[in-house]
Structure formats: structure tokens, C-alpha cells
Chains A and B, each alone.
Chain A
Amino acid sequence: MLPAAPLHSRIDVLASLREALLAFVLALVVFGPVSGLMLSGYKVEPHWLRPLLLAAVVAAGRFAIHLLGQTPAGRRMVARNQARVHGGVTVAALGQSPNRARLLLVFVLLGAFVIPFLPWLPVPDALAALGGKYWLSNLILALIYVLLGLGLNIVVGLAGLLDLGFVAFYAVGAYFLALGAQYLGIGFWTALVCAPLLAACCGAVLGFPVLRMHGDYLAIVTLGFGEIIRLVLNNWLEFTGGPNGAPVPPPTLFGLEFTRTARQGGTPIHEFLGIEYNTNLKLVFTYLVLLVVVILMVRLLTRLRQIPMGRAWEALREDEIACRSLGINHVVVKLTAFMMGAMTGGLAGVFFATYQGFVNPTSFTFFESALILAIVVLGGLGSTVGVIIAALVLTLLPELLREFADFRVLAFGLLMVLMMIWRPRGLIRPQRPAFAPPQEVAR
């Protein structure tokens, strides 16, 4: 405990000594029986020096910490930590735009855009490998999960609707591109626009009857929906190709293709640009488009939270009765959240299909839904930054620890347990943009 002394007070050594003495006594009580008594055979031998030594170390540590806590820097640190402990959601201070955070954001974005070009730049080999095929693929997958996490975050984190079948919308997006190319001859760009719309419609069709339910019931229905979509894809052989899956055409850019030879009637991009063919070109393209889409989604989400509809989502999560008495149509508000989430999931599906070049139902099992939910929970329900970090960690970490692949799910469970103990609200505490009053009221 820090004494509530005025700012200019001198460091109180006596108080620190008192604290140290208290810590010493407590440490003795704890360590005395634990390390002071040694069992050898059937006899218990006392070792009094060891607990005394341990307690002395503890007391010295307490003394040092208490002294440091009284210096101005230490006091600031304590205050910061205490502020972090209290309460759940925090509200960002009004009109505060920390320059440091903005600078960091610029660096991260620049870095993200430079990564695919690293092999062409004069940088050390280790760094250039980051832009190589292996890491680029991983990054694309990570960004797809970022997109999925952001989508589910709207549904679970903001609107508070537990959706266990999110993977269904992901599948809708992916299969829309695959089957659309097969039957209607659509390409990547058409799918990029239409798939989210179709997924949103699926969200509405599912949402309308089930959104009257709450909590667990909703979770069960969405879980069922996710499985239904997967089973249909698996069993409707003549339309979807069943377990054999369906091929997805590689993406094009204004008729330019990323394959070695033109297959869709365009020009290969390496011929157009007059550079040597590189198998990475398709990945670089996918990565860049995906990155732009993710950035746009983050921007959209931030804006959404500031308009009345976004506020209504959060209000509905907090108190449905109050919302209805205030004239909020809870079904419509929930439906918009559900559709927005589904739309983002569909978008991610298009990128997944493009990235894989092939889709089949095994990519859309319940485990995927659980993984996406874990990303949202781990990142902090409602926190955009947290979800992005969690998605990157949960998809890139398994790649870094390939040798321990057998223990992946175990480690995953352990991570969840540890998170629940130390950071029950997720990596980053959700922070809502404060409502900016249109005009300052006279104080």
C-alpha cells in the first residue's frame, strides 16, 4: 500500500522498513514449514537457516519495491497499473489521439505493405525470407483469420450474440467463388463484391427466425446451421462436387493473369511488366488485396461503432429491456449485426478459396468456428486491436512451433486456461470510442 502522501513528500524509509518487516514475517510463516522441515527417511529434520534466508530475500525485495514505488516514476507506474485493474470496458478519453500510437500504426502499415517486396529489395536473407513463398502464405492465412475474427467480433463481441456456426458464412463465400466460376464463369473480383452480399443474405435468412432466442439456445442453433451447410456441401455431389471439392480459378487483375501462361484469355502479368516469371506473383497479389480489404474493414468497423447503429449493438448487449423500452427494434439491430458479421465471413471465404485454389468441405468444420471464437475471446470481446493480434498469434505461432505440432491443441487449451486466469477480458481491454457531444455544455 502506498501512503497517500502529497507529491513533494520525501521518501519514507521507515514505512518501507515496516513493509519489509511485515513481508519478512509473512514469508517466514509461508516458507517455515515448506522449506524449514526436511524429510529424510522417517525423520523430520529442521533447517532453520533456509527459510530465514528466503524470507530475508523476500523482505529485501519488498523494501526495494516499496522504495521505488515512492519515487515519482514509480508512483506513476503504480497509478497506471491500478487504473488498468478496475472495471471492464473503458471509454477512450474525448478527443485524445495519442501521436505515438498513430506513428506506430503508420510503421506497421508500411511494414505490412513492404513485406511481399522484400525478396526484391537489398535486405539480409533472413528478412527477405519473410516475403518468400512460405511466410507469405502464412501471412495470407493469418490475415484471413484477422478478417474472420473481425467479423465474429461484431456478432459476439459487440452485439453479444454467441455464434458457434460462423464457419458457415466463410464456406458460403469460398464456395460462391468456386461454384460461381464453374457454373457462371465469374472471377475473383465479381466474387469479392457478390460473395459478401450472398453471405449477408444467408445471415439474414438464418438470423430472422433464430434471433428471438438468447444465449445458449442461439449458440445451439448457429452450431447446427454451421454443420448443415458443411453436410450439404459434402453430400450434394452433383452440384458441389462433394468431398472431392471444387477448383477455384486463379485471380486476375484487369485481364492480367498471375500464371506462367495465360489460361483465361488474358496476358500473364510478368510478360506485361517485362519481368521474369515468379511463382510468388499470385501470392503477392492476393496478399496486397487482402491487406487493403482488412484495412478497409478495420476502418469501417471503427466508424460503425461511432454511429447510432453501432451504439445500439453495444446497448443491446448490455441491456435488452432498456433498449426495447427506448424504442430500439431489437430484432432489426441484431439482424444488422448478424449480417455484418456474415458479410465479413463471406469476404474471408473468397480470399481463402483464392489462396487455396481449391475448396472442399473439410476446411469448414466446427474446429474452425471454435478457432475463430477463440481468436475473439483471446483478443478481448469487442476489441479490434486485440482480435487482430490474437488472430496473428494463433495462426503464426503454430507455424513457428512446427516441431510441437502434436501438442498444438494441448497448448491451445493451456493458453486458454492461462488467459482466463490472468486476462479474463482478453489481451487488449476493449475500449469504446467516446461519444463526442456535438456541442460542449457549459460546465
Chain B
Amino acid sequence: MSQQTRTPADAIPQPLLDVRGIDTFYGAIQALRGVSLHVSRGEIVTLIGANGAGKTTLLGSIFGNPRASVGSVSFDGEDITTLATHRIAPRGIALVPEGRHIFPAMTVEENLVMGTIPVGEAHLDEDRAQMFELFPRLQERRNQRAGTLSGGEQQMLAIARALMSRPQLILLDEPSLGLAPLVVRRIFEVLREIASLGKTIFLVEQNANHALKLADRAYVLVNGEIRLQGSGRELLADPEVRKAYLGGH
């Protein structure tokens, strides 16, 4: 199903997420300079960049915190540039924040319930069962406090919590941060499974190798500007990208 929407002809008329020429400032410091990108329905798009390139700021700007001062962000045809942060999740965007940000004193189960806030608890049972299927470890630990989980499990929980709001688009901010290589591989497998469920994924990563292999399309962010874009495979082969992000040979 997602295969059909990936053709450019379908993608251009109305991308699911459309970021057009945004500038974002922290006080006097400009973090983003005219960033434009789009994510079409059913795609996996990744954004790679070094520390301080503005990756997290870009996700923040989509969520209105900090707000972009120039340019526009639209989701599913609706302009969300000036929408209050808490109004954005109910539109069908879920964020898996950098550093996981689960609720440590709540149980795994309660964390999942918190994820249903944007949509209400009508589908709770069904979605929770699906999450436990996707992440069997979470079912084992459902009554355990989330703070006692391992880093990988916490990341799984953060992803599951985001999925509980039945989003159309999932934004992930460095899900591989601080995790062991084996766990990182598992996370990326899970992302592939999630994509096969028909979800659209926008992934921000430093781990360029994994991210580019997973992605349909990719952008490279350097000092707040989009430097390169193309299909994941193209960028993986690009000498500049290899040199800067893959420890090139």
C-alpha cells in the first residue's frame, strides 16, 4: 500500500508533512536557515547531521517549541506553524523525544496509557495488545516502574507510547542514542515493522549508516541548512556523506 504513494507523482501534490523555508532562532542565535523538506504518506525519511546541526531544533519547530519565525509547517494540508504545542499531537503527529523522556515513576502500563492522551482511551485495549505484540519485553515488565528498565527497553517504551496515540506520522529523535549496537539494530528492525503497519516515519539520526539503510529518502543538515538530499541509497554512496558521517574510506 505504501508502495503506491512513494512515486513522486503522488508525493508532490500533498505531502503529509511539509516544511517550507523555516528559520528558527534561540534568542539572537539562528539555529535553522531556510529549511525546507517534506515527508509523504507511507515514507520513511531520515535527517542526518552532526551535533549542533539543528536536528532537534527542527523537530521542535514542527512542534512549535521553539516556534519558527519565518516559513511554514503544514501537516496533512493544515498550517500548524502557529499552533500551540499541546494542540499538535492530537492532529496525528507523535514525537519520540531525544533521550526517551519516559515517565520513570510510572509503570510501563501507565506510560502506555499516558500515550493515549491525544486520542482518548477508546482503543486502549486493542492498541496496548498490539504494542505488547510488537515489544514482548514490555509485556513482561508491564507492572514494573519504567525507570527500572534498561536503556533499550526505555527506548522501546518511548516508541510504544508514541504509537498509542495512533499517529499518522512519527517523529523520532535519535532513537539509537547511547544504546549498544545490538540494541540499535533491534530498534531499527522495529522501525521497519512500524513502517510496514502503514505509519509514516521521520527519523532524525546521527547514526547515518543505519538510518540511510532504512530510509526511502534522506536529508543532510549542516549548520542549520539542508546541504544534501536524495534517496537513502544515493546518500549512502555519496563521497561527501561517507567522509563526514561514515568515517569514509
Question: Residues on A close to B: CB < 8 A?
Answer: 87-89, 91, 94, 308, 311-312, 314-315, 318-319, 321-322, 324-330, 432, 434-435, 437-439, 441-443
Contact = CB atoms under 8 A, between A and B. Distances in A.
Nearest to B86: A329
A435 B139 CA distance: 15
A435 B97 CA distance: 24
Given A87-B148, A330-B86, A311 B129 contact: no
Would you list the 7 A-B pairs with minimal beta carbon distance, nearest first?
Answer: A327-B89, A322-B101, A327-B118, A325-B95, A329-B86, A89-B105, A318-B103
Contacts of B207: none
Give the interface centre of B88, B103, B129 by most chain A CB atoms within 10 Å.
B103
B34 interface: no
Interface in B114-173: 114-115, 117-118, 121, 124-125, 128-129, 132, 139, 143, 145, 147-148, 161, 165
Contacts, number: 94
B125 A325 contact: no
Contacts of B125: 437-439, 441
Contact of A327 (B107, B110, B117, B124): B117
Nearest to B100: A322
A380 to B, nearest CB: 13
A437 B124 CA distance: 9
Contacts of A88: 105
Given A87-B148, A91-B145, A435-B113, A325 B63 contact: yes
Contacts of A87: 145, 147-148
Given A87-B148, A441-B125, A441-B132, 20 more contacts: A91-B106, A91-B145, A311-B106, A311-B113, A314-B105, A315-B106, A319-B104, A322-B101, A324-B65, A324-B86, A326-B89, A327-B118, A328-B86, A329-B84, A434-B107, A434-B110, A435-B109, A435-B110, A437-B128, A441-B128
B191 interface: no
Contacts of A439: 125
Contacts of B101: 319, 321-322, 325
A311 B84 contact: no
Contacts of A330: 86
Contacts of A312: 117
Contacts of A437: 109, 124-125, 128
Given A308-B117, A326-B115, A442 B104 contact: no
B66 interface: no
14 contacts: A87-B147, A91-B107, A91-B110, A308-B117, A311-B114, A315-B103, A318-B105, A318-B106, A319-B102, A319-B103, A326-B118, A326-B165, A327-B86, A327-B90
Contacts of B104: 318-319
B87 interface: yes
B143 to A, nearest CB: 7
Contacts of A326: 89, 114-115, 117-118, 161, 165
Interface string B72-111: 0000000000001111111000110100011111110110
Nearest to B63: A325
Given A88-B105, A435-B109, A441-B129, A315 B97 contact: no
Contacts of A314: 103, 105-106
Nearest to B87: A327
